[in-house]
Amino acid sequence: MTGAINASDGPSFEAHTAKSESVIEADIPRRTLRVGVLGFSVLGVLAVASVLMVLFAVPMNTRYWGIFENFLDLDVYRHGGSVVVQGLPLYDGPVLDGMMFTYTPFAALLFTVWAVLSFKQAIVVWTGLNIAALFAVIVLCWKYLGYRLDVKAYAVSALATTIFLFMEPIRTTLWLGQINIFLLLLIVWDLGRDEKSRLRGIGAGIAAGVKLTPAFFWAYLFITRQWRALVTAVVTFVATVAIGFVVIYNDAYKYWTGTLVDSERVGPTDAPSNQSVSGLIAQLTHTPTPSRVLVLVFSALAVCLGLGAAWIAHRHGQKLLGLTMTGLTATTVSPFSWGHHWVWFVPLVVLAAHYAMVSKKRWAWVAPFVFLLPVLNWSHTWWDPSVIPGTDRFIGMGLFMFVPPEYLRIPTVGVYLWVFTLAAVSTVVLFGWKKWKIPAPDASAPVTTAA
């Protein structure tokens, strides 16, 4: 009898709770995006310019370099999944044309789905899903910033998606067929939710199970005392590791006991595209093996600055800003960060636009462009058929690939690190020092700070 009572009471209570939460959420004042005819005109012009730049700045039919002429990483994912399906060793050697599989065993299991598609089919599906994921990230940003998701919000998000296609991390992610936007969406969706949401942290755990860098968000959850989400993330990550051992034990054992720390599988530390602390130091000191002391010291400083900014943002109720600063910090201190790893610039620019709107000061609109312009897909062509077999040129994409005069070397080779530094310092100044209060959606009272 007792069991029957418990069984009937449970769903009723859950339904009542869900209903109450939906009513409470409906009662929360929502902002409306203040975008008029002029705003849509500007966004439309920028969107058209972005499409033209993506298709023609680097001509789309250029062998290897055109936007639809690569997808090397996607093909590596497919072949990694195929190796698992065939029961062959995953980490003993290249899976495709000298390319090693560098992701976790759990990721390889997920990639088995793509092994059943042809390369062309995979390109179409993967690209479509990436663009949809980018759109979803932007929509979620507006939602978590308190905006009403009406037709105007979706229209602005669609235009912003188009504009961001010319952002170097996004363009390169699409060009290579990378996974970064999916991981960004997973974390924004998961950790952007209300802190009382059930199973919050599971997305961050899965993301870390696919690619270890998102585990850095555990530090953010720790310093902000989000214990339940932290435990959920860690337990979920452990589950992904366990799944790898259960399904492909030998590969999992090899990965977690050796392959994991083999940095040579990723690329040379002093590569211009390595936009991390270690990459900057390696380039400035002209060595592929930078001083570990220097790397540790400056990485520690970056962690203190980035997580400090994230903690301040969280304390002042700026959850999305806290997540964004954490994502940028993780990329900054990672041993190797390709340009396309910096997809957290997307919510950063959205946040800058949001703060410009709520500040109601015209000069504040400089901020989104300050963060956007340095990370666009600026390119330079070197005509040299010996660099990439099968093509007559090498195209450097991103400001960090330019060869600047010596007096511009420091700001250029680590341009993404300086954008991170500016974002972190701005966060500390605005919310830590000046204690800026964001006006509430009804403009009647400032948003309260987090406890």
Task: Give Cα 60 distance to the centre of its chain.
Answer: 25
Of the candidates 399, 402, 396, the residue with the CA atom closest to the CA atom of residue 58: 396
Q: What sign for the dihedral angle of Cα 31, 32, 33, 36?
A: negative
Which of the 8 DSSP states describes residue 263? G
d(CA 441, CA 274): 41
- For the stretch 324-362, pLDDT in tens is 999 999 999 998 999 999 999 999 999 999 999 999 888
Q: In which residue are the tokens 């497919």 written?
A: 78
Of the candidates 177, 183, 129, 202, the residue with the CA atom closest to the CA atom of residue 343: 183
Do the beta carbons of residue 168 and residue 53 sit within 8 Å? no
Do the beta carbons of residue 417 and residue 275 sit within 8 Å? yes
d(CA 244, CA 255): 10
d(CA 213, CA 341): 10
Residue 89 CB neighbours (<10 A): 12
CA–CA distances in Å: residue 379 to residues 174, 296, 374: 16, 32, 12
Domain boundaries, the chain: 34-261+269-433
Q: For the chain, count helices (H), then strands (E).
A: 19, 2
Q: Which residues of the chain have pLDDT under 70?
A: 1-29, 262-266, 442-451
Q: What sign for the dihedral angle of Cα 31, 309, 307, 280?
A: positive
State pTM to two decimals.
0.90
Give the pLDDT confidence score for residue 431 in this predicted structure. 95
Give the pLDDT confidence score for residue 10 in this predicted structure. 39
Give the pLDDT confidence score for residue 438 in this predicted structure. 86
Bridge-based pairing state of the strands 394-397 and 379-382: antiparallel
